Structure 1
C-alpha cells in the first residue's frame, strides 16, 4: 500500500496532489527536518508547476510541517520530541471518537474497504522493511478517520497523526520490532467491522498509549 501510488492514481487536482506528496515525504522524513525546500527544484523533481506547489506549501505551513522565513525561504520543521505528550493527549480523546463513529458507519463501500485492509493486515509479512510497515500504519489510521464520516474530525486526526509519525520515524532505528504495533490494528479493525463501538474506542485509546510508551522507552 504505497502512499505515492495512492496519490498518483487518485484523480485529485494538481495542488492537492502536490500537497499530499510533499506532506508524506515530510512525515516519513524523506525531506529531513530543517532541510530547505527549493520551489524550482521540487517542481522539476515532482513534475508540478510552481503555482500548485506554492499552494501546497501554504497548507503545509498550517500543518506545522514547514516554516517560512522572510528573505530566507521555506524549511521542513524540526521534529520536537517534547510535543509527544501534547499530541498524545489530544489523540487519546479523538482517536477513540473516530473508531467509535467508524464502527457505527454501515455504508457498504466503507465496510468493503475496511474488510479489505483488515484481510491485508492479517496476511502482513513481518519481514517487510520498516518503511513499508510505517506506510501501512499511516494508511490504516487514515482509513479509520475517513470511515468516521466527519471531515473536521478526519482533518484534525490526520494532522496529529502526521506529527506523531514524524516523531516515530525519528526514533525508528532505536525501536525494537514494530510488527506488534502494526498488528494491533487487526483487533481494532475487527471491532469496527463488528459494530463494537465501545470496544473499538477502547482499542484505539490503547494503541495511542502504546505508541507513546514505545517512543518514551527509547528516548
Structure 2
C-alpha cells in the first residue's frame, strides 16, 4: 500500500504527510530519522519492516532502502538473523562529535556567508526573524531542539556543498540524540537557541569571520550544556 499523502496513525501517534516531491524511500527515511533522533524510537528498540510499512502506508521495499541509509548514518544497527534495531546512544561519543563539529561547523558558516545566493540570504533573514518570534512564545524544550535542528540544516544547505552538508547532518543527528537523552535534565535552552538569530544575520550579511566565531562558541556552549547535566 502506498501513501495517500494524509497523516497515518498507529495508536495515538501521528506521522507527517509525504511531500509531493518525496519518493516513498525518502519519506520513510525522513520520518524514521526524526523518530530516531528525538528518541521516539528508543535505543535498542527493534524496527519491524511490516509494522513500519503499515504505519507509514509505504511498501516494504522503500522501508528497506530507508533502513540501509539509516544504518550508514549510524542511527540503526542490523544484525544477521536478528533484525534491525535503533542504535544505542553513547554519551562518551560527545567529545569526538564535538571535536568534529568544532572543525567543520565554523567553516560551514563562513562558507555559507561567502557562497549563499541572494535568495538564500533572504531566506536566512526570514528564518532569523521567525526564530526571534518563536523564542518569544516560550517553546517547550523539545520544540526548541527541533528549531535548533532546522536552523543548522538551513546553514548546512546554504554552504552549497552537498558533501559538507551530508557530513554535518550526520554529526548533528548524533549530537541531537545525546541532547534528547538528557533533555529533561537540562535548564531552559532558549538562550542557546537565541544565538542563531545573530548567526543567521551574520551569514545573510556575508560576515564570514563573525559567523565562524559565533558558530565555534555555539558548538562549545552545546557541549558544556550537555556536560553540565551528566
- For normalisation by structure 1, the TM-score amounts to 0.95
Determine if the alignment matches structure 1 residue 167 to structure 2 residue 178: yes
More helix by percentage:
1
User: Are 1:126 and 1:179, in contact at CA under 8 Å, matched by a contact in 2?
Assistant: no
Determine if the alignment matches structure 1 residue 195 to structure 2 residue 210: no
Q: Which has the higher contact order (CA 8 A, sep 6+)?
A: 1
Determine if the alignment matches structure 1 residue 131 to structure 2 residue 142: yes
Give the equivalent residue in structure 2 for 1:38: 48
Give the equivalent residue in structure 1 for 2:217: 206
Give the equivalent residue in structure 2 for 1:88: 98
Give the equivalent residue in structure 1 for 2:25: 15
What root-mean-square deviation, in Å, do the aligned CA atoms of Structure 1 and Structure 2 show? Answer: 1.3
Aligned equivalents of 1:192 and 1:10: distance in 2?
Answer: 30
User: Are 2:28 and 2:63, in contact at CA under 8 Å, matched by a contact in 1?
Assistant: yes
Give the equivalent residue in structure 2 for 1:73: 83
Structure 2 gaps, min length 5 = 1-14
Structure 1 gaps, min length 5 = none
Of the structure 1 ranges 15-24 and 75-84, higher mean CA displacement relative to structure 2 is found in 15-24
Q: 1:74 aligns to what SS in structure 2?
A: strand
Give the equivalent residue in structure 1 for 2:131: 121
Aligned to 1:158, which of 169, 172, 183? Answer: 169
Cα distance change of structure 1 residues 10 and 154 upon mapping to structure 2, 3 Å threshold: farther
Q: Deviations for 1:119-155, whole angstroms, at most 9, x for unmatched residues?
A: 1011123422222111111010000000011000000
Cα distance change of structure 1 residues 8 and 136 upon mapping to structure 2, 3 Å threshold: farther
- For normalisation by structure 2, the TM-score amounts to 0.90
Q: 1:182 Cα deviation (Å)?
A: 0.7
